[in-house]
Every structure is written in structure tokens, then in C-alpha cells.
Amino acid sequence: AQVVQAEFVKSSVTTEDCPSDGFPEFALVGRSNVGKSSLLNSLVRRKKLALTSKKPGKTQCINHFRINDSWFAAAPHELRTDWDKFTKDYFLNRSTLVSVFLLIDASIPAKKIDLEYASWLGQNQIPMTLIFTKCDKRKKRKNGGKRPEENVLDFQDLIRDFFQTVPPWIMTSSVTNQGRDEILLHMAQLRNY
């Protein structure tokens, strides 16, 4: 799969601010440090399209990236209520949204907030894809730490208990580029519906 064009376009703080040219859109959401920027950079094979950062207090915006003839909207999910209000408004009202890519760190056990987020998207019938990140982290941790594959299965079990089904899911690593082609193919398939 080829990425011909990729550029950062704008940051928005309300749904009305978001680009209005009608291109199909995919949203990358997940906790701070889950690997949103790294995944985006890996998809477009660039080091710095999206700034990866360790600094706290990143701006609460939805950042729009134009990739070929699609949009990518990247947003952190946080517990802060005003921010959540904006992202939820965006999910519910963004008519060009094709799928929400919910990023989940596969190197750690399931987090309650990720399950809550998946539940909220499911309850509101917003199409989602589970994107498991950091699947290259192989080392077993002390104290019963699990491998990424095991964390992924655990997360799927928890989701299945809730929905009786599991949304489409892809295992990725922005270190090895695992999952890159699968994501691009998945996007192409979703767009052709």
C-alpha cells in the first residue's frame, strides 16, 4: 500500500472547527503515550509528521492530518470532562467519520478507561477498530507480566463479555512496522463500503 501524500493540516477545539471538505475520516484515539503519533508516523513512513512526545499537558485538540485522500484525526482521550465533551460530540456528529481506531497498549494489562471508551463507542454504535500498539515489547515482566499476545486476548475476552462480539482488531508496532499494511488495507476496505 502506498502513501503518496501526508501533511498536518490543523488543530481543532470544536467539531465545527474540523475540516469541512468531506473526505472520509479515521480517528486515532487513545491514552497519552499509547503510541498515536508513532503509529501515524509509521503509517506514512516518516519520522516526524506527528510529533511523538513525552511531555505532559499536551494540547487538548483534535489534530487533522491529510493522508492521500483521507483525513486522520488524532486525539488523546482523557478523564477531563470538558475535553471528553468535545471528543464525544465529534464522534457523534462527524458525518464523514468512517471508523474510530481505538489504540490500546498491548504491553500492559487492560485498562479500565480503554474498556469504558470501547463500551461508550459500542453503545453509541460508532464503528471502531481496536488497534493494539507496542506488540514488539516481548520481554516478560516480573510480577506476572504478560506478553502482548496474552494482553490482547484478555482485552478481547473482556470486550466479548460486554458486546458478545469483538470489533475488527489489528496488532501493531511502530518499531517493526507490524500491522502497517493491514491497517492501510483495512482502511481501503472500510472506505469502499
Closer residue to ligand GDP, CB minimum distance, 113 or 189: 113
Q: Which of 64, 94, 134, 180 binds ligand GDP (CB under 6 A)?
A: 134
- Report the alpha-carbon distance of residue 148 to residue 136 in Å, rounded: 8
Shortest approach of ligand GDP to residue 29 CB, angstroms? 9
Fill in the per-residue mask, 6 to 35: x = in contact with ligand GDP (CB under 6 A), - = not in contact: ------------------------x-xxxx
| Smallest distance from ligand GDP to CB 52, Å | 4
What lies within 8 Å, CB to CB, of 102 at 6+ separation is 29, 30, 114, 117, 118, 121, 128, 129, 130, 131
- Bridge partners for 169 per DSSP: 130
Closest CB to ligand GDP belongs to which residue? 35
> Amino acid identity of 108?
I
Host H or E run for residue 60: none
**Which parts of 38-77 interact with ligand GDP (CB under 6 A)?**
38, 52-54
